[in-house]
Structure 1
């Protein structure tokens, strides 16, 4: 990230990207984010929601609820959105973005700290994954009822909401109920230890691509659509494990470095306005919301389970980690003028 921000801040490099080059880079990053959210969902188990709450799910829910409540109470008083941005949409999406946890980044951080095998490390990883899944799931459902498209006629909004809701429901049903039969057949025809048949491989990839994109054809977000498809597709089996392994490797080698450069290229440092106190007020308010929300929620939930508060505070701080999707979501909102990069006083 630091290298990407440094290179993209160099004037000569920024000027070398014309409109077409910048558009091509945007399209590449958008496609990479679709793959990222698909793998993210594929690595999660949505059916854990239906089971009795365990220790890590209680910590995840407590941190989510406290952060969402704190964000909802504070952010409407600060002008983060553009002039025509709906305050309900802004507050909802911002609260879910702040309450979520970048599970990939958290896992890497805990591994680098060499606490992955400890009880606190395992608990933090599981709580982070569940927190990430719930924030993404609520955001995916909420997008249906709070679409980003602007309409002057309420009937057009209702038509879009109904259309997206039906197609998303169809996508989930196909991914959860019908895809296991197809993938089980492919897995049985290609047992472990034998080369994967090319025709079955192409058919499986095409099947997954159709499931990921069918809701996006009707106005739904392609990134959230791929997440919902991956979330409800079977995780077990040769095809799913192959997709997780190969796509994660592709993302690590190509997408993440390019993504960091794209983030730096999308940021205009001249609009930061460091001399204005309101700039720092908005920045540190967001950091304070995440820190207080995560720590307080985790401590309250953990004390009810009988944990000691110092370990709970450490888990809360770890759950503050944000991932690639949260960063992309913010930059994308700035790109489509849903949030403002500068402070405007409300008269």
Structure 2
């Protein structure tokens, strides 16, 4: 692999449609729109088909989204923004801040235990594969603080909207266990998004991120004390949800993309802006109407595209034949520890 004799050039054809000149560009609606529509229909149809095939096994939509291994990358990112926005709409910030003691303890345990175990297991992977990594890339690129933080965050996130859909499908939403699980998931996602918004910029940019944090905090205060009261006055003028037209609701979606674009300019992940905007929407019949109208489009059509892109990048056979496969299996133990902690708190 290291000899130059083993290297050989590969040539391929690639069509470039004058990317630097809009006047010479081809008709995008004619050339690319039909392909995009075809890909989207294929993705949605395949996801629904796999979901109904797995329905006897009580598998959620997320499983079918990952298994079909299809993706439309650009719209997938828009789907992720909608996914986080819907999570913000479903969260009740007042309820999170005034939560009972038991769900709070379980949420803290389900956040800290996976983060600690994830950091430890990732350290073991770095130690075991130190020699292996040097053959491809310098080890220090994998041994940075942001790598540990991302791994710990991935293991601690519950996925509040996904859990809510699972509880609805299993008809457990209104049971004692379902209410407790939903409350814990709400707290868990809230804690993780706070850590992601406040900690990750410092891990990437160091002390320079303080300016981004100050701007984001100012944006949060502006959204809560200025934007939310303004939206409450607008919503109060039309208490009946049937008075809202799709044209008027499109301004809400425009505000969503404006919020994500602003946080991106401020140096923070755009998903943080989607969550802040979702939390700023006043709760009540307007929120229920907005979720009802945008759930099918956002959660059933756009959000699956993001999980498709994730499923496309996975190779389960490759992981199964690697030396560190035992470490991947070990991740299951952190879920079991959280389960036992929750059972202990419930008595």
> What is the TM-score of this pair, normalised by structure 2?
0.69
Q: How far 1:201 sits from its partner (Å)?
A: 4.0
Matched, 1:275 2:321: yes
Q: Give the 3-state SS of the residue equivalent to 1:242 in structure 2.
A: helix
Q: Match for residue 30 of structure 2?
A: none
Q: Match for residue 181 of structure 1?
A: 229
Q: Match for residue 183 of structure 2?
A: 126
Contact 2:235 2:286 in 1 (8 A): yes
User: Mapping of 1:1-347 within 5 angstroms?
Assistant: 7-8=68-69, 25-51=72-98, 53-79=100-126, 83=139, 84-147=141-204, 157-159=206-208, 161-192=209-240, 195-196=243-244, 201-231=249-279, 233-237=280-284, 239-268=286-315, 272-276=318-322, 278-292=323-337, 294-300=338-344, 302=345, 307-308=346-347
Q: Which has the higher contact order (CA 8 A, sep 6+)?
A: 1
C-alpha change, 1:28 and 1:235, in structure 2 (3 Å) is: same
Cα RMSD of the aligned pairs, angstroms, is: 3.0
C-alpha change, 1:110 and 1:90, in structure 2 (3 Å) is: same
Report the structure number with the largest CA radius of gyration. Answer: 2
Q: How far 1:133 sits from its partner (Å)?
A: 1.9
Contact 2:84 2:274 in 1 (8 A): yes
Q: Give the 3-state SS of the residue equivalent to 2:239 in structure 1.
A: coil
Q: Give the 3-state SS of the residue equivalent to 2:296 in structure 1.
A: helix
Q: Give the 3-state SS of the residue equivalent to 1:57 in structure 2.
A: helix
Q: How far 1:286 sits from its partner (Å)?
A: 1.7
C-alpha change, 1:201 and 1:186, in structure 2 (3 Å) is: farther
Structure 1 runs not aligned, ≥5 long: 9-13, 15-21, 150-156, 309-347
In 1, the alpha carbon distance for the partners of 2:122 and 2:334 equals: 9
Q: How far 1:5 sits from its partner (Å)?
A: 5.3
C-alpha change, 1:197 and 1:47, in structure 2 (3 Å) is: same
Q: Give the 3-state SS of the residue equivalent to 2:324 in structure 1.
A: helix
Structure 2 runs not aligned, ≥5 long: 1-61
> What is the TM-score of this pair, normalised by structure 1?
0.69
C-alpha change, 1:247 and 1:224, in structure 2 (3 Å) is: same
C-alpha change, 1:111 and 1:78, in structure 2 (3 Å) is: same
